[in-house]
Structure 1
Amino acid sequence: MIFVALLHAVNLGARRKVPMADLRALLTGLGLADVRTYIQSGNAAFRAEPDPALRGRLEAALAARFGFPVPVTLRTAPEWRGAATSCPAHLRDEAVVVAFLRDPPDPARVAALRGRDVTPERWEVVGQQLYQTVPQGVRNLRLSAGVIERALGVGVTVRNERTVGAVAAMLDT
């Protein structure tokens, strides 16, 4: 089965560096096949047997190799393709980012988040993704990854539409 692994908060400055060549070597060393990465933000695709412990194995190996915890969000190739095509139509008139949620969100917490005023941003949760408009740019988000994480109580990592589409295309090659 093909999986996509998203590393949270790596290569965002001088700290938490995870070179993609090192990531590919690490994943290959774990016995994963056909390992590929996309840009420096911690996106990897690979073949592996389905295993409920896979995320934990990846996180343990990353922490051992790089010396700091690296949360990982996993999606299967069909889940990723679905995420790449499931942005609600009413958000498509602006640039959108996708917040990938590590675990399913509690509907009550999603409802509570709806009570926050994050205007001019608009957002929608679809499955384990939160699609969000970025009218004032990613650096000025009122509904940042940290806010989403605290409000929903699940780990979050964000990718822009271009990255989501490029990784989806990579799965087909």
Structure 2
Amino acid sequence: MIFVALLHAVNLGARRKVPMADLRALLTGLGLAEVRTYIQSGNAVFSADPETDLRGRLEAALEARFGFPVPVTLRTAPEWREAARGCPAHLRDEPVVLAFLRDPPDPARVAALRGRNVAPERWEIVDQTLYQTVPDGVRSMKLSSGVIERTLGVGVTVRNERTAQAIAAMLDT
């Protein structure tokens, strides 16, 4: 089965460095096959036998190798393709980012997030992906990954639409 692994908050500053060559070597050493990475933001595609706690095994190996905890969000290839093409039509008139949720959010917490005023941004959750418009650019986002995490109570990592599409293309090669 083919998986996409998204590492949270790596390679954003001087700390929390995870070189992609080292990530590929680590994943290959764990017995994962056809390991490929995309840009320096912690995106990996690989094939593996499905297992109960693949995410936990990856997180433990990453922490052991790099010396800090690295949350991981996993999607199967079909889940990724669906997320990459699943942006609701009413959000398509502006640039969009995708916030990948590690776990399904509690409906009460989603309601709490809906109560926040983040205009002019708009957003919608489909399955475990939050699609968000960024009319003023990602540096000015009111609905940041930190706000999403705290309000929904689940881990999140954000990728731009170009990255989502590029990874989808990787799945087809």
TM over 0.5: yes
RMSD: 0.4
CA displacement at 1:112 relative to structure 2: 1.2
CA displacement at 1:24 relative to structure 2: 0.1
| Runs of 4+ that moved beyond 4 A | none
CA displacement at 1:111 relative to structure 2: 1.0
Question: What is aligned with 1:57?
Answer: 57
Cα distance per residue 1:111-161 (max 9 Å; x no partner): 111011000000000000000000111111100000000000000000000
Q: Secondary structure at the match of 2:51?
A: coil
Structure 1 CA distance for aligned equivalents of residues 45 and 52 of structure 2 = 17
Question: What is aligned with 1:41?
Answer: 41
Q: Secondary structure at the match of 2:44?
A: strand
Question: What is aligned with 2:68?
Answer: 68
- Residue 119, structure 1, aligned to residue 114, structure 2: no
CA displacement at 1:17 relative to structure 2: 0.3
Describe how 1:1-173 pairs up with structure 2 within 5 A.
Answer: 1-173=1-173
CA displacement at 1:2 relative to structure 2: 0.1
Identity of matched residues, %: 84
Q: Secondary structure at the match of 1:55?
A: helix
Q: Secondary structure at the match of 1:131?
A: strand
For structure 1, the 5+ residue unaligned runs are none
Query: Residue type matched to 1:61 in 2?
Result: A
So what's the TM-score if we normalise by structure 1? 0.99
Q: How many equivalent pairs are there?
A: 173
Q: Secondary structure at the match of 1:57?
A: helix
Structure 2 CA distance for aligned equivalents of residues 172 and 99 of structure 1 = 22
Structure 1 CA distance for aligned equivalents of residues 75 and 39 of structure 2 = 18
CA displacement at 1:52 relative to structure 2: 1.6
CA displacement at 1:56 relative to structure 2: 0.3
CA displacement at 1:46 relative to structure 2: 0.3
For structure 2, the 5+ residue unaligned runs are none
Structure 2 CA distance for aligned equivalents of residues 84 and 69 of structure 1 = 27
Structure 2 CA distance for aligned equivalents of residues 112 and 63 of structure 1 = 33
